[in-house]
Amino acid sequence: MSGAVFHGIRAVLFDLDGTLIDSAPDLGAAAEQMRLARGLQPLGLAAYRAYAGMGARGMMGVAFGVAPDQPAFAALREEFFDRYEACIHHRTQVFEGVLPLIEALQARSLPWGVVTNKYERFTRLIAARLPLFATSSAFVSGDTTAHMKPHPASLLEACGRLQLAPSDCIYVGDDERDMLAGRSAGMGTVAALYGYLGVDANAQGWGADASVEHPMQCLDLLG
């Protein structure tokens, strides 16, 4: 753990994939199913993990070497979405340490929420299955507002739902865009170094106010 200790915080907001839940195995499995359906050899789920934070863009890049600006991407993405939706609950788990962290926030009467770029099509399924999210005070998906992170719109939407100012909140995430969005919104930012981070990521260069290597370390940042 490193960085600032925050004072006067009244709520904690989190990214979803790579911060609260480990969804990489299901994301990778959906992409692997697509390879197998085309007679291609499996790559193994470990090949997809570092790219899980990139969603369909990352999964299709690993599985087929296809980027969003290529003609084949749109159809592959839709097939991937359908396959992921069908297996979204098979392997996804809450990260170790997240449940006691949430329980500790509740014991301090600190509300918490989720701000993710994942579409509501998927977040509603995850929120319905995992009991963790029953106590969330705000859940903002990637298509809730007109802009995704790194734009601050979704974080500001969460603040509105909590009836708090951005300066009353901190945002915890495992991607540089999370830190950019948090800063733009006027929040304190915390880099979750236990998350996906991405290939060749330089988390120290993200400009986060603090970083944690385990979810429970977030408590130590709340002065």
Q: Provide mean pLDDT across the span 156-166.
A: 98
pLDDT band at residue 15 using 50, 70 and 90 as cut-offs: very high
pLDDT at residue 109 above 80?
Answer: yes
pLDDT band at residue 223 using 50, 70 and 90 as cut-offs: confident
pLDDT at residue 209 above 70?
Answer: yes
Amino acid identity, residue 56? A
Q: In the prediction, which pLDDT does 1 show?
A: 73
Instruction: Show the tokens assigned to 82.
Output: 């359908």
Q: Which CATH architecture has domain 2-22+93-221?
A: 3-Layer(aba) Sandwich (3.40)
pTM of the model: 0.95
- From CA 204, how far away is CA 31, in angstroms rounded? 30
- Catalytically active residues are 15
- From CA 85, how far away is CA 77, in angstroms rounded? 12
**pLDDT, averaged across the chain:** 96
CA 180 to chain centre: 14
pLDDT at residue 199 above 70?
Answer: no
- From CA 11, how far away is CA 33, in angstroms rounded? 39
Q: Provide mean pLDDT across the span 158-180.
A: 97
pLDDT at residue 33 above 70?
Answer: yes
Instruction: Show the tokens assigned to 129.
Output: 């299955």
For the sheet with 11-14, list strands across it: 2-3, 210-212, 188-192, 169-173, 11-14, 112-115, 138-140
Q: Where are the domains positioned within the chain?
A: 2-22+93-221, 24-87
pLDDT at residue 201 above 80?
Answer: no
- From CA 59, how far away is CA 79, in angstroms rounded? 12
- From CA 106, how far away is CA 94, in angstroms rounded? 17
- From CA 191, how far away is CA 145, in angstroms rounded? 23
Instruction: Show the tokens assigned to 99.
Output: 């449940």
- From CA 197, how far away is CA 200, in angstroms rounded? 8
Q: In the prediction, which pLDDT does 162 show?
A: 98
pLDDT band at residue 204 using 50, 70 and 90 as cut-offs: confident
